[in-house]
Structure 1
């Protein structure tokens, strides 16, 4: 589902300026990164895991490869190896590079180029798990039973060598054709088991359309909806397993930083029940929100509207640092389990620190002072970074939506009403894939309606529809 904008020389410089995004790294940070590339990072002292036929699965063209995996059947169970890029081998605590990445918090992805967390010499070079390259990593190994639950978890520093780089579409096509790569042949079975365990726990997954901005090669942009393939969900379950296992390590040691979300109150669940009733979505007695949402067909308009309403169950996520006692809120309600970020250190600041806690604890060592001193700062640093990333993502989508529709004011479109609030509603137009505001009263959530485009202003990045 792709629409050409047919406009030349459209870039996102205005958004970069508006949000004060950096266009390079300070000289001292760059010098440290370059020095780290040639520094001895202790490969000889690490476990040699280069014989593991690990592979990576990332978007097409990605160079900042955080994870490599190998999923094997062992008897009636599974063994999962998950190698994570080891930024702790390259970033000196308290140095100029450490200071700069703390300011950034995470990589920001804009259609015309990203704003990386780390200099590309690391994030796309020496630290990235590129195929055929020997790399330092933090290697997690999970021994899992036939139900997909781990019976033993190990984490240690190792040397790895990825054997192949894949993208999601290619992997899905090979599964569909019955010719999967041997290293991930067992991924579907394991991924389905883990997803079923998640639903049993009460994890909430919202299958909302994922808008993408894609260059068309002519200096302009097109909008698309990226279909969520099965392999996306299976691969995500490996990352979630790792994050939940890391959280367990931290909670046992009473030190670390968690990604937390308080349980939704009864009012939010009751409101979702009312929405389901109004949308005509059956909700049998005894069925949890997790089970209900997992069973919906995301192509149905009423399901799309209920997914949007269910976002109220996931409000209030943040980060919680602790040292010496377990925090009052230690779980992530969306996952129905304790969880932390450890699987994307190239792209997200907190993962490096959380990983270092796990390595120290599992090795029976004291968590170093520089790390315990940094932990209380991480919630604020990551909260600010997440907020900025959300604003930049939304601004880019708003900009392209306005560009795409600028010469279509007055035209009519079919839309699904997502959420009615005040004098209007949020709607989703499938072609082109746009989420916008529609004015009018008594707009029926979960129904398809005809709308007319009344405003598409690229200067203000604003798109408005009205009910026809």
Structure 2
């Protein structure tokens, strides 16, 4: 998923929607799948590889996703263990049951790498006949899955992990608001009610080890007669509880692979001081109190994403995720470092194979590790190239995200060229001290500033004038007033 989720409403011919279409054309984003890929997907639907899948259709799984989502990677069933603690059963779509190694579907997935998200639509990793149909954990259909069973103690610590291939059937497609309402009202049945109990325990475990989850709100851009307006959809507590089940599984998968001696981890170094300093200046621009003795994680946990300025700061916090990558290891030679700084633990991506290439491979390694057998040759053959493939795909996705942010901000400000704004200078180019970046106090926009004969005052407030803003043609830019 994108670090900065955005959603656009409005007519297809509106300037913002037109600019997004032009962006896809300019970046050569594939609009359709090649005929051989579609043909192979259609054939795969008729005869998936169900060898080795045990029957787990008796377990009443449910999914939690946005109401309009159809590409459902995960389903869960939660229960208490005899003697205390919990059992998490987490079913992940088994993409390998549909995708033949070296086939047209596989080659196309390696070319696309990830699902690409735009504010008005998305470009999927796999053809919709699979990703939104046969391979998706939609309610009422039997689906091949990687079934994780993770036992937790009474304090939410993982004590045992297993993963096997299984045939599963989801009973219900739930959404976050409905889940939150049922849990708050006390009407949720125990498998759903346990989501809160386990989620809170996992949150406490995260705090204890020094990890941090960013509850980044969704930005909705609405077209009205008087122009475009920005609103934030704050994530509900249920969003975070659900995310903790995925994080738990990613950490369990990393432990399995490290014990096995072969795998691929998601790693993130600690943020450099320069990035933290820039974030402090953004906090100042938004009027968010961040005393020097208070750690970043404590500041983030104290934010309320329902407040617009807090929501904007959470968006800026995603800049500290830059530098994340994938680390392959084989033959028992464990990587160092191997920690994901935000998770504060070993971690891997394995829970979204319908939307991310690497998850299919991580899942296969975990299956081999749990069964005590060798890794499939097709996985080992592809493993060394995966970090670079994922880096290229992630770079493309990040570039699209940045371009979309530029287009959206230009749409928001297109009718305000020439106006004055209060801002804080959050960055200054070392070789060009009259060029840098400002963070507006209102609206919460981050943009380039250039011009004027004096060095920009880094970290200080500055009155600025909007000089350009035209979605799809001219990025937002300011000059000193």
Q: TM-score range by the shorter chain?
A: 0.7 to 0.9
Matched, 1:52 2:59: yes
- Say if 1:66 and 1:128, in contact at 8 Å, map to a contact too: yes
Please name the residue that 1:224 is paired with.
231
In 2, the alpha carbon distance for the partners of 1:2 and 1:36 equals 33
Residue 404 of structure 2 corresponds to which residue in structure 1?
396
1:421, CA displacement in angstroms?
3.3
Distance 1:101 1:336, change over 3 A: same
User: Counterpart of 2:3?
Assistant: none
Equivalent residue for 2:473, pick from 455, 460, 464: 460
Q: Check conservation: 2:418, 2:467, Cα contact below 8 A.
A: yes
Q: Alignment partner for residue 13 of structure 2, among 1, 8, 11?
A: 8
Give the Å deviation of 1:244.
Answer: 0.7
1:105 aligns with 2:113: yes
Residues 139, 173 of structure 2: 8 Å contact kept: yes
Question: Which has the larger displacement, 183-192 or 303-312?
Answer: 303-312
Pick from 326, 331, 346: which aligns with 2:354? 346
Contact preservation (8 Å) 1:54, 1:183? no
The range that moved more, 418-427 or 300-309, is: 300-309
CA shift in 2, pair 1:120/1:320, >3 Å: same
Please show how residues 50-449 of structure 1 align to structure 2 within 5 Å.
50-74=57-81, 75-207=83-215, 209-213=217-221, 223-264=230-271, 267=273, 271=277, 281-282=290-291, 284=293, 289-297=296-304, 313-324=320-331, 325-411=333-419, 417=424, 419-422=426-429, 423=434, 424-428=436-440, 434-437=445-448, 441-442=456-457
Task: Please give the alpha-carbon distance, in whole angstroms, between the structure 1 residues aligned to 2:387 and 2:60.
Answer: 36
- Listed one character per residue, the Cα deviations across residues 437-456 of structure 1 (whole Å, up to 9, x for unaligned) are 466844756x8x87654321
- Displacement after TM superposition at 1:172 (Å): 2.3
Question: Per-residue deviation at 1:435?
Answer: 4.1
From the superposition, tell whether residues 355 and 407 of structure 1 become closer, same or farther in structure 2 (CA, over 3 Å): same
Residue 334 of structure 1 aligns to a residue whose secondary structure is: coil
Give the conservation status (yes or no) of the 8 Å contact 2:76–2:88.
yes
- Matches of 1:195 and 1:102, distance apart in 2: 35
Cα deviation for residue 381 of structure 1 reads 0.7
Aligned length: 458
Q: Structure 1 residue 175: deviation in Å? A: 3.0
Cα pair distance change 1:6/1:108, threshold 3 Å: closer
The Cα of 1:257 is off from its aligned counterpart by 0.9
Q: 1:281-320: per-residue Cα shift (whole Å, max 9, x none)?
A: 3355xx7543453234557799779767866754421111
Q: Is the 8 A contact 1:202 1:289 kept in 2?
A: no
1:185–1:23 Cα change, 3 Å: same
Q: 1:237 offset after TM fit, Å?
A: 0.8
Gaps of 5+ in 1: none
Contact 1:109 1:115 in 2 (8 A): yes
SS in 1 for 2:80: strand
Change (3 A) 1:274 1:370: closer
Query: TM-score, normalised on structure 2?
Result: 0.84
Distance 1:263 1:50, change over 3 A: same
Task: Spell out, residue by residue over 1:18-49, the C-alpha distance to the aligned partner (whole angstroms, 9 max, x if none).
Answer: 11111211222222111110114227x52222
C-alpha spacing 1:268/1:204, structure 2 compared with 1 (3 Å): farther
Kept after mapping to 1: 8 A contact 2:9/2:221: no
Stretch deviating more after TM superposition (64-73 or 374-383): 64-73
Label 1:410 to 1:393 Cα distance change in 2 as closer, same or farther (>3 A): same
Residue by residue, what CA displacement relative to the aligned partner does 1:225-246 show, whole Å, maximum 9, x if unpaired? 2212211111111111101111
Unaligned regions of 5+ residues in structure 2, if any? 1-5
Alpha-carbon RMSD across the aligned residues, in angstroms, is: 3.5
CA contact (8 A) 2:282 2:426 kept: no
Q: 1:204 to 1:276 in 2, by over 3 A?
A: farther
Rounded to whole Å, the distance in 1 between the matches of 2:354 and 2:260 is 26
> Is the partner of 1:464 in helix, strand or coil?
strand
**Equivalent of 1:31 in 33, 36, 39:** 39
Normalising by structure 1, what TM-score?
A: 0.86
